[in-house]
Amino acid sequence: MKTFELIAPCHFGLEAVLKKEILDLGYEISLVEDGRVTFIGDDEAICRANVFLRTAERVLIVLGSFPARTFTELFDGTVKLPFEDFIGSMDAFPVKGWSLNSQLHSVPDCQSIVKKAAVKRLGEMYRKSWFEESGPARQIQFSILKDQATIM
């Protein structure tokens, strides 16, 4: 069974409570940061975490993390990620995210770069140059914290 790195965002101050909830479910914590807890789990963990974590806002699957000090680094790191494992050829894939204490601080520009990289990757995988995006929405989220980008 495949395992994933998962992020559970929460309100500031609830990280310790969320960490205990995740440990009580039997999952390994990899990192506790302000406003989120990262842990390791499989398909079942995603389902169980969504049902039983009371202090988490949601559960996100991490596609990858890499340094991103420039738009080129953000694009190059993003285009390498396996979007096709989660996004179908007809799916909509809107992008949202945030940046904090980073050289890349324009969120709209970062959204555009991440979207272009996802389109390039999916275009190569599905052999398409245009995406209708008429299917179900598969939200792509990014965070850039201290020049480290995480794509979820």
What is the per-residue pLDDT across 17-73, written as a single tens digit (0 to 9) for each? 999 999 999 999 999 998 999 999 999 999 999 999 999 999 999 999 999 999 999
Which DSSP category does 89 fall into?
Answer: T
Which pLDDT score, from 0 to 100, does residue 129 have?
A: 87
Instruction: Give residue 151's pLDDT band: very low, low, confident or very high (50, 70, 90).
Output: very high
List the one residue out of 129, 140, 60, 59 whose CA is nearest residue 93: 140
- What is the pTM assigned to this prediction? 0.92
Give the pairing type, strands 60-61 and 140-145.
Answer: unpaired
Q: What is the rounded average pLDDT for all residues in the chain?
A: 96
Mean pLDDT, residues 5-23 taken together: 97
The mean pLDDT value for 120-146 works out to 95
Confidence at residue 99, expressed as pLDDT on a 0 to 100 scale: 96
